[in-house]
Amino acid sequence: MINLTVTTPTNFPSWKAWFNTRPSTKMINDNAKARLFSAFNHSVEKEACKRALLDHDQTVFLFKQNMGGNRLNMLHHLKQIGGNVYDPEEQFGAIQEVGEDTSCVITPDVNAILELPMIEGEFVPSNANIYGAKSVDDINSLPISTVTKYHRRNFIPIPPFLINPIDKAIEDFNGDGTKILIKVIAEINDFEN
């Protein structure tokens, strides 16, 4: 069994507060967002991506939950035991959520998280169209681009400036991915302006 402490870090009321004070926060928000996303994009092979997930303990990830079709949640501090000569079976544990009263230990299915649902990628709306969406109806009616292709994973790193808004959106919308996307779009537009 993975031994993870769920209590919040010393001197911080929540994991959210802890993440917001990390030295990496300013660096990523200011000029390393693209590097953060490329460290986990579809071209990173499964084992290298797993290693990066284990190494990025100052990063929160948004992941697709197995239950409830379009539900999202956050995880961080992924840890592994086993996977070596004397204990070949790998087991994983992580902390889900960042709030003061909502953090808990989970045993994620890392193979499912690392899976590439669509190897060939899929055509998606252009970024310009996505950033103009303000409602679920806007999202549902976005035209699909014939140029913009996305190769998704079942998780994505969250830039630090989005941790608080995503945490609140998960709580407010019970993890509904489309409603979380609307909140993220608004926050990105505000951040960029």
Q: pLDDT per residue over 8-45, tens digit each? A: 566 888 899 999 999 999 999 999 999 999 999 999 99
Domains of the chain, residue spans: 15-117+152-192
Helices 163-172 and 177-192, packing angle to 10 deg: 150
In three-state secondary structure terms, 80 is strand
Going by C-beta distance under 8 Å and a sequence separation of 6 or more, which residues neighbour residue 181?
133, 139
Cβ burial of 18 (10 Å; 0-12, 13-18, 19+) is middle
Q: pLDDT per residue over 173-183, tens digit each? A: 999 999 999 99
Q: Taking residues 189-193, report their average pLDDT.
A: 89
Predicted TM-score (pTM) of the model is 0.88
CB-CB contact of 88 with 97 (8 Å): no
